[in-house]
Amino acid sequence: MAPSPNEDHGSRAGRLRSRRPTATVRLKAATLAGRVAATASKIAGRGSGASIRGKVMMQLDPQALAKLLVGKRVAMVSGTNGKTTTTHFLAAAVRASLGRDTYRLVHNADGANLHHGIASALSERPRADIAILETDERVVADMVRLGRPEVLVLLNFSRDQLDRHHEIKGLGRSWRNALDAVGLDGPVVVANADEPLIVWAAQTARKVIWVDTATTWIQDASLCPNCGANLVRDQPDPEAGTGGDWHCTGCELAQPKADYAVVDGSIVDPEGHRWDPQLNVPGSFNVSNAACALAAAQLMGIDADTALVGMRTVTSPAGRFATARYGETTARLLLAKNPAGWAEALPLAQTDTVILAIDSAAADGRDVSWLWDVDFEQLAGRTVVATGPRAQDLAVRLTYAGVEHRCVPDLTAALAGHLAPVDVIATYTPFQKLRKMGGV
């Protein structure tokens, strides 16, 4: 309701003050109810309770998320692949800088990254003044508006959950519009310079720090998001360890000059200093994730030495790369949600037997046609087990790839009886089941 033109400033301020206790009481009541719901969920064995806590909170207080963001330095991380690990890297860097004051930090470490999950995490440490938040691609625009983040890390766009994210350009446009709307009040963006759609989305930000991540997956970037013309890439430079720069054939959109770069497994900063990340998670893609996290950490005032010390404490972010026991079987868990993720995960599978777990629940995306974009041919000569509710679909793809395999839809049966350690690569839903089964 607009104030009356005859109402003086003092009376308006008094009226607003009188509302604050009611708003605070409502948030506290919603938070308490959410905690009760989360506890009930855990007791019932339905999960961590993070999502239901947030749902209950926001049902009782629709403004809970906005209220919980007030007064915090916020850094957000989003993208199709790597956002969980990158957020863990950044949170670990902040934690290392805080020393004993880690109570000041809140982080949605379990990966619950929609509105409800973020509200849930924030409610666990409402007095924290620093929030490091993994943010689903679909809610970035809302979070930019509500949280006014200080730093926003944008990693990549890839075809993911095809039935829900039909056209990734639509997501990119929502980011671009959100950054344009907040203008000079918006975040400093740390953006992947190798990704054309990310570059286009970040163009409206008030300031961008570009990271050359040496991306190898380019199948999702063939047309210019600005004008629709073909994108072309220069020849890669093997000695530098980087892919070729890209540019549009129809407009001026082109790969920007990087501030940070991944070169031969190291991170080169804007001053030209070369940092060996010495991470405790595998994969060249995680060096790229660490480069983005390092850029964000330095924007937040954390020196590189401290940031990297923190990042090296990350070993199995939200269960990724964790090793668990299933009866007599020892398994390492790898998450792969889409072709870009599988392209990175498959080379990490080093065991003689590899188990591939596929589902098409809502969290996985119901459309599994992406299986035909994955290079399963590289598994030829290995012992492969296809499992999960969509094991038969995977078995067909493996047959065409010339990969000998067994089809065992039941996850427990597929894991049984392996005397030597195995690597398991799974989509989201079976991955979460494996975490629960293995106590990860």
202-236 pLDDT, tens digit per residue, is 999 999 999 999 987 777 778 899 999 999 988 76
311 and 366 share a domain? no
Mark the binding-site residues for Zn(2+), compressed into ranges. 224, 227, 248, 251
Instruction: Decide if 4 is inside a domain.
Output: no
Residue of 259, 264, 367, 373 marked active site: 367
pLDDT-based confidence at residue 7 (cuts at 50, 70, 90): very low
Residue 8 has pLDDT above 50, yes or no: no
Instruction: Decide if 155 is inside a domain.
Output: yes
Contact between residue 132 and residue 93 where contact means Cβ atoms under 8 Å apart: no
Beta bridge mates, 380: none
Contact between residue 76 and residue 149 where contact means Cβ atoms under 8 Å apart: yes
- Counting residues of the chain whose pLDDT is more than 70, the rounded percentage is 92
313 and 327 share a domain? no
pLDDT-based confidence at residue 319 (cuts at 50, 70, 90): very high
CATH number for the domain spanning 197: value is 3.40.1190.10
Residues 169-191: pLDDT tens digits?
Answer: 888 999 999 999 999 999 999 99
Domain that holds residue 362: 322-438
Distances, alpha carbon 338 to alpha carbons 82, 272, 359, in Å: 12, 34, 12
List the one residue out of 194, 193, 204, 69 whose CA is nearest residue 139: 69
Mark the binding-site residues, compressed into ranges. 224, 227, 248, 251
403 and 260 share a domain? no
pLDDT-based confidence at residue 3 (cuts at 50, 70, 90): very low
Domain limit, last residue, from 258, 286, 317 = 317
Cα–Cα distance for residue pair 92/296, rounded to 1 Å:
12
Residue with tokens 């948030």: 27
160 and 263 share a domain? yes
Contact between residue 113 and residue 135 where contact means Cβ atoms under 8 Å apart: yes
Instruction: Decide if 134 is inside a domain.
Output: yes
Domain limit, last residue, from 284, 317, 350 = 317
Contact between residue 358 and residue 366 where contact means Cβ atoms under 8 Å apart: no
pLDDT-based confidence at residue 45 (cuts at 50, 70, 90): confident
Q: Which residues have C-beta within 8 Å of that of residue 250, sequence separation ≥ 6?
A: 224, 227, 228, 229, 230
Q: So what's the pLDDT on residue 159?
A: 76
369 and 415 share a domain? yes
Contact between residue 53 and residue 38 where contact means Cβ atoms under 8 Å apart: yes
Instruction: Decide if 46 is inside a domain.
Output: no
Residues 330-368: pLDDT tens digits?
Answer: 999 999 988 989 999 999 999 999 999 999 998 888 889
Cα–Cα distance for residue pair 251/224, rounded to 1 Å:
8
Domain limit, last residue, from 317, 342, 372 = 317
16: its two tokens: 């607003």
Contact between residue 156 and residue 340 where contact means Cβ atoms under 8 Å apart: yes
Contact between residue 26 and residue 61 where contact means Cβ atoms under 8 Å apart: yes
Cα–Cα distance for residue pair 440/436, rounded to 1 Å:
6
Residues 63-118: pLDDT tens digits?
Answer: 999 999 999 999 999 999 999 999 999 999 999 999 999 999 999 998 899 999 99
Residue 304 has pLDDT above 90, yes or no: yes
* Domain total of the chain: 2
Cα–Cα distance for residue pair 233/66, rounded to 1 Å:
42
Q: So what's the pLDDT on residue 4?
A: 38
Over the chain, what is the mean pLDDT?
A: 90
Cβ atoms < 10 Å from Cβ of 122? 26
| Alpha carbon distance, N-terminus to C-terminus of the chain | 50
Beta bridge mates, 246: 233
Cα–Cα distance for residue pair 121/118, rounded to 1 Å:
5
Cα–Cα distance for residue pair 156/200, rounded to 1 Å:
12
- pTM for this model (two decimals): 0.88
370 and 411 share a domain? yes
Would you call 367 a catalytic residue per the annotation? yes
List the one residue out of 119, 90, 116 whose CA is nearest residue 105: 90
CATH number for the domain spanning 384: value is 3.90.190.20
210 and 74 share a domain? yes
Cα–Cα distance for residue pair 324/407, rounded to 1 Å:
22
288 and 165 share a domain? yes
